[in-house]
Amino acid sequence: MQDTLKISGKDITNRLFIGTGKFSSYEVMKRALEASKAEVATVALRRVDTTSMQENILDYIPKRCNVMINTSGARNAEEAVRIARLAKAAGSGNWIKIEVVKDNKYLLPDNIETLRATEVLAKEGFVVFPYMSPDLSIARRMLEAGAAAVMPLGSPIGTNRGLRTKELVEILVKELSIPVIVDAGLGRPSDACVCMELGCAAVLVNTAIAVSPDPVGYAVAFSKAVEAGRSAYIAGIPCGKDPEPSSPLTGFLRNEK
């Protein structure tokens, strides 16, 4: 039986979501998405222009990918809601990653404003993915508001520092009944593997892939790491035992007197 992530009636088999910013060209981005077999791609609304005679980023998103518009640039709930509505009106669908950032230095999400936007958009029928600092009480309120998943940061956006919020993410995985998708800061495929071993439903990676010397190869590496981590989680990961040999330590040497 195939292991799938079900969100809003859609079955997703590849649990690596890829962001579309910072690539050297749309063509490189397209090849990375295709090679990794990603099924979800996030796109900032400001890069979508369906009326332009020039390149439109949506033309480079493989058909199998679900497009998730993100509200990058929003500084409060009202701006995030406006961006989401504009995206839907432009024909970009109703999957929305809510990203509300007031902090220009560390680029940390504003959990309160994000919750406010979640409450509004979920009621309007959007499939809402709030990007958040990992906080269980806020995450529970986002769940109650109708979020399809929560997207806690691994470390600050674009830093490639890895999963610095591991213990907090693990709490969310254990306590929430909706998918936990780690977003932001993952720099190495091994970071993604650790997230999946914890039981995360998926990971979202952008900067690490886009700025790699070989974005296509790195996207494939992340995809394989996500698959390996998910397989390990399903199989069960042994831990916390006393030292125990994997082979007998007696019976193969003659006792000498």
The span from the first CA to the last CA of the chain, in angstroms, equals 58
Among 228, 238, 244, 150, residue whose Cα is nearest residue 191: 228
In a domain, 117, yes or no: yes
In a domain, 244, yes or no: no
In a domain, 136, yes or no: yes
Strands (E) across the chain are located at 5-7, 10-12, 16-19, 40-44, 66-70, 95-98, 127-132, 151-152, 181-183, 202-205
Query: What is the per-residue pLDDT for 40?
Result: 96
Among 28, 19, 31, residue whose Cα is nearest residue 205: 19
Angstrom distances, CA of residue 82 to CA of 127, 129, 157: 15, 16, 23
pLDDT digits (tens, 9 = 90+) for 177-233: 999 999 999 999 999 999 999 999 999 999 999 999 999 999 999 999 999 999 999
pLDDT digits (tens, 9 = 90+) for 150-164: 999 999 988 989 999
Tokens of 247: 């082979």
Query: The dihedral of CA 114, 173, 176, 123: what is its sign?
Result: positive
Position with higher pLDDT, 254 vs 203: 203
Q: State how beta strands 127-132 and 151-152 pair.
A: parallel
In a domain, 254, yes or no: no
Model's pTM, two decimal places? 0.89
Q: Is 159 helix (H, G, I), strand (E, B) or coil?
A: coil
In a domain, 226, yes or no: yes
In a domain, 251, yes or no: no
In a domain, 256, yes or no: no
pLDDT digits (tens, 9 = 90+) for 78-134: 999 999 999 999 888 899 999 999 988 889 999 999 999 999 999 999 999 999 999
CATH number for the domain harbouring residue 36: 3.20.20.70
Q: Report how many domains make up the chain.
A: 1
In a domain, 240, yes or no: no
Query: What is the per-residue pLDDT for 215?
Result: 97
For residue 27, the one-letter residue type is E
Give the bridge partners for 202, in sequence order: 181
Asked if 97 is an active-site residue, the reply is yes
Q: State which residues form the domain around 11.
A: 5-235
